[in-house]
Structure 1
Amino acid sequence: MARHDARNWHDCSKMTGLLCLVLSILVQYGASGQRVKVEPEVLSYPGQTVNLRCAFTDPTGIQLTMVTWIYEPRDGERINIAVFHPNFDPNYPDSPVRGRVSFKPTPPVLASPSIQITDVQMTDEGKYICEYATYPIGNEQGITYLVMLAKPRNMATIVTVVAGTKTVTVAKCESVDGRPAAQISWVTTANGNGTTVSKPGADNTVTVNSEYRMVPTAADNGKDISCVVTHRTQVKAESYPLKLAVQYAPQVTIVGYDNNWYVGRTNVLLTCQANGNPVPLSVMWKTMSGEMPDTVQINGNELKVLKVDDAVNTTFVCEVKNRIGTGRDQITAMVREPSVNPSNAGVVAGAVIGSLLALLLVAALIAVLVTRSRRQQQGYRANGGSDMKTRIFGGGKKASKNGTSGGTGSGGVGGGNNNGPIYVYDENSSHQGLAEKNNHHQPLTIGGRPEVVATTPTAQDILLSNELDDAERRKFDELEEDERYDHFSGGAPILQLRPPHDQEDIMGEYLDDDMESQRDGSVISRTAVYV
């Protein structure tokens, strides 16, 4: 039914839209209410044979008298093309289809008088009416539309235009010799509109021309545009993709200037980039001053400055030409004084490494000072002077519980018992040796009576003298590390005193009562004998 309505609308193209719609509704309503049954529409291509069927479905109580087929062209009057009366032979009056039309079957049957048209032509398109003469209800009819189809030749082309300010045609699409007329539409992102015009073609066909019109710009060049053709003979719409072709003068841009041209900089490069349609033909570099500096080399669209100096403190211009016109761009170079430190990465790295080394050196120095301070707190050093001094090598261990230690008895100085002999080292002696050895006693007067004090040699004296027996060597070796001498400085030996926690092992209070500290860090005995 929809196709039938479309056909009615097409045939009423010269009438107003409202009137055509009313007629289409009336025709369809009348056809559906008649007893004469026909096909609403028959499609055919030129040269084919078509069958137009007709039948009277319910002849009860009705007398069928005669049937007539009438042809009504799209633009013309009705013409009888075939007549049949049961009492006579079929008749085919003069018509455009005479000789090609006949009743089927043969002989015809009044209840179903279908006709056949051979070698149909495009001009055979139109209405075909099967009309019955009956009694007593009068004439009854049914209408069939014969639609002739012709597949069109479709094509689409691009029109090359120049960018401007006027509306021009940029693309064309054409559907030639189609039947019925094709429908053309455009698909694109360009800002324009399509216009369509139809005109009669050969053998009752229709040719449709469509154009896409717009104001072209350089930005539209290369944009996609498609012509879409829809036709009844095609299974689906056909699309013809194109690209807009807009010609324009070159658009030029100079790149490469970083605003850091300083005196002495080498191999700086400027590039002249240009795009245009058609492709630019020539590139020319020049300066606003008219003279190109000697340190400049030009190679096509590249300008290289071999060495920056005051001569390149100018404006460089790049001109590009094509058939449409000329485009240009310019850049003004500002030459600066050379930077003091163009790159201080190495300086920074050196400073960081130097700082780390300095910190490590300071840390090592502090560690040494702390270690030395701790050692000085545990013992005293001799000042290394030239004066003769007496040093205490060490006392004996605690006496046994019965008070015997192999010494001189209990009558020591200050009430203490000196467990071993005290030796005197004479620095000024020509012998540079021991004043007394092997428990040689020397007199000493204390409190008006003579006392005997044994002098003890220093560790250096004992070691140098090689007179230590095996027992004394084992005793010396068994001394703790803190009880030995650190080293000797100057001419006099250095005594490492026992730490405070070992003073309990020293017999008596000799050391506490007898030793006296000096300003240079050394200690001397109050009871020492000086020679």
Structure 2
Amino acid sequence: MSDFTMINCCLILCACLLSSQAVWSQRVRVEPEVTASPNGSVNLRCEFTNSGITKLTQVSWMFERVEGDRHNIAVFHPLYGASFPNKDFDGRVSFTQGSLENPSIRIDKLRMADAGRYICEYATYPSGNEQGTTTLIMLAKPRNSAIAIPVQASSSEVVVARCEAAQGKPEATISWITTIAGRYNHTSVPERDGTVTVKSEYRMIPTPAENGKEITCMVNQRTQIEPKTFPLKLVVEYPPTVTIEGYDNNWYMGRTNAVLTCQADANPAPTDVTWRAASGQLPPSVRVDQNRLLVRKVDETVNTTFVCEAKNSLGSGKKELAATIIESTEDPSSAGVVAGAILGSFLALVLVSALVAVLVMRSRRHQHGYSGDGEQGAYGNKTRLFGGKKASKNGAGANNNGPIYTYRESDPGTLTEKCNEFPRMTGSTPTAHDILLSGEMNEAERRKFDALNDSLEDEEEEERYDRFSGLPPSYQIHRHEDECAPYLDDDMESQRDGSIISRTAIYV
């Protein structure tokens, strides 16, 4: 037989032996792992299955804290009963059923030191000893805490916050959540009872700007349903930084109740705030009220440099302000009010004047016969009036009873009689003066009618003279049956004096 064949036979034999051992060991049924907490209780189950012809002699429970160091803690014999030989488990361990087929035990008042391997071992015949192992994991919820450590502002890196998860099992993990630039480190310290304490510190260079900034410690551990968080605010201490508020560069002579406020930024808060003048004593018109400086009335004594100083346990800080007095006897705010009132009155006057001017122009246009849109009224741009006392020098008489006719260029081709235009002249022919008083003409036409009126008066004189001399009767304009009927434009003839007469409606 070759060497290769011999090796194969050995491997097959070993496999068979292991398989048989696995089958035997599977007959002792236990839980691979259980968990418990300190001061609690735990059940360790064990049973022998498919015993067949195998005879069970006795069963033992052994505790192994570290590998290879075993101690009997419980023994059960069908004839001699139960025995608990280990003093560490005296009074804390017991069999739940007390039989060889189910020798499960219960451990009470658990300690962290109880964590380890528990072996349930059967003594049998003829197969020998068979066993099963359960690992007990003791879980301890850590005591979590976090604090912000007060530090002074400096240029060196220091610890500003600390977070701790004490006596936890298994070991906790700690992380930091913040926007502040820095770094952190962890340390783990095993405890005698098997727990672990984890500490973490956050380090940074503290400045006054970081005072009050937020930083959060977060602890994760198996026994916690969710992470435990600790929001913190950094505490950075620094001496006062002082500013003076309230000066507006408008301290004029005679101003009253001016106020300066001393603001001090410090941690811890300032314990003392004082005011003084750089030259010594404060002016008599000045009064100090805590961190405020009250100037009852501005005068030449206030034209000085004021100094505010604040102190805390870390030091002091001060700020100076040089007040400049303006030579003014008038309150600029009052002058502004007066100027505003004058300007407002002027604008109101301009608006009222513009409104009056518009109303006057509209009234004049209405009197001159203009419509609202700038066009003339019912008589057009150029209105010609006929009739009245018009008479020719060749002996034609006056038509004192005739109507007044107007020629409207806005309505070409018609001559229209104006009826009832002069209500105060009912039954008589209006004179040029009456026409002027009617307000129906512009200035140019008024001047024309003034000249026409003079010529009419001269003609009346000649007419009276002609009548006395027995001359033929005057020509008259024939009145239409309709007192207001129009005459055609082509029947009219213009005269040098601006009037127009009809060629066909004149008879003797």
TM-score (norm 1): 0.57
AA aligned to 2:115 is E
SS of the counterpart of 1:130?
strand
Aligned to 1:272: 262
Q: What secondary structure sits across from 1:164 in the alignment? A: coil
Matched residue, 1:351: 346
1:128 Cα deviation after fit: 1.0
Aligned to 1:451: none
1: distance between equivalents of 2:304 and 2:340? 32
Q: 1:484 to 1:65 in 2, by over 3 A?
A: same
Q: Contact 1:31–1:143 (CA<8 Å) still a contact in 2?
A: no
* 8 Å Cα contact 1:280-1:322 kept in structure 2: yes
- Inter-partner Cα distance in structure 2 for 1:95 and 1:31: 34
Residues 325-347 of structure 1: CA distance to partner in whole angstroms, max 9, x if unpaired? 21233334444454896553123
Matches within 5 A, 1:191-230: 191-201=181-191, 203-230=193-220
Question: Which residue of 44, 48, 51 maps to 2:43?
Answer: 51
Aligned amino acid, residue 346 of structure 1: A
| Alpha-carbon shift at residue 367 of structure 1 (Å) | 7.6
Q: 2 CA distance for matches of 1:123 and 1:413?
A: 155
Q: Which amino acid aligns with 1:324?
A: L
Give the aligned partner of residue 321 of structure 1.
311
Distance in 1 (CA, whole Å) between partners of 2:361 and 2:246 is: 56
Q: 1:25 maps to which residue? A: none
> Structure 2 counterpart of 1:41, which letter?
E
Structure 1 residue 80 corresponds to structure 2 residue 72: yes
Give the equivalent residue in structure 2 for 1:433.
Answer: none
Q: Provide closer, same or farther for how the CA distance between residues 303 and 102 of structure 1 changes in structure 2, counting only shifts above 3 A.
A: closer
Deviation at 1:211, TM superposition (A): 3.8
1:107 aligns with 2:99: yes
Q: 1:485 to 1:33 in 2, by over 3 A?
A: farther
Alignment match, 1:283: 273
Matches within 5 A, 1:115-154: 115-131=105-121, 141-154=131-144
Asked whether the 8 Å contact 1:68–1:83 carries over to 2, the reply is yes
Structure 1 residues 205 and 97, CA, compared in 2 at 3 Å: closer, same or farther? same
Which residue type is aligned with residue 514 of structure 1? D
Alignment of 1:402-417 (within 5 A): 414-417=394-397
Q: What letter is aligned with 1:348? A: L
Partner of 1:169: 159
The one-letter code of the counterpart of 2:282 is M
Q: Whole-Å Cα distance in 1 between the matches of residues 301 and 427 of structure 2?
A: 88
1:39 partnered with 2:24: no
Q: Return 5+ residue gaps in structure 2 as ranges.
A: 1-20, 370-386, 401-423, 438-444, 466-508
CA contact (8 A) 1:97 1:124 kept: no
Give the counterpart letter for 1:349 in structure 2: G
CA gap of 1:397–1:342, structure 2 versus 1, over 3 A, is closer
1:331 aligns with 2:331: no
One-letter identity of the residue aligned with 1:215: I
Shift of 1:396: 6.2
1:514 match: 458
**TM-score normalised by structure 2 residue count:** 0.59
Query: Deviation string for 1:124-152 (max 9, x for gaps)?
Result: 22111234567898765432122334444
Letter aligned with residue 253 of structure 1: T
Q: Distance in 2 between matches of 1:315 and 1:330?
A: 7
Compute the displacement of 1:117 (Å): 3.1
Change (3 A) 1:163 1:369: same
> Quick check: 1:65–1:134 contact (8 Å CA) kept in 2?
yes
CA contact (8 A) 2:389 2:429 kept: no
- String of CA shifts for 1:307-352, please: whole Å, max 9, x gaps: 4455544443322112222123333444445489655312322332
Deviations, residues 484-520 of structure 1 (Å, cap 9, x unaligned): 4989xxxxxxxx99996xx9xx9xxx945936xxxxx
1:429-470 deviation digits (Å, cap 9, x = unpaired) = xxxxxxxxxxxxxxxxxxxxxxxxxxxxxxxxxxxxxxxxxx
Deviation readout 1:390-414 (Å, 9 max, x if unpaired): xxxx97699xxxxxxxxxxxxx974
RMSD, aligned CA:
4.9
Question: Percent of counterpart pairs with the same letter?
Answer: 44
Deviation at 1:73, TM superposition (A): 0.9
Distance 1:49 1:479, change over 3 A: same
Mapped to 1, the partners of 2:161 and 2:259 lie a distance apart of 43
Question: How far does residue 60 in structure 1 lie from its aligned partner after superposition?
Answer: 6.9
Deviations 1:50-91 (A, max 9, x none): 321123455579787765433111488222334567798666
| Count of aligned pairs between the two proteins | 391
Is 1:131–1:142's contact at 8 Å kept on the other side of the alignment? yes
Q: Hey, what's the Cα distance between the residues in 1 that align with 2:61 and 2:22?
A: 16
SS in 1 for 2:346: helix
Could you tell me whether the CA contact under 8 Å between 1:201 and 1:207 is conserved in 2? yes
**Relative to 1, partners in 2 of residues 1:87 and 1:361: Cα closer, same or farther, differing over 3 Å?**
closer
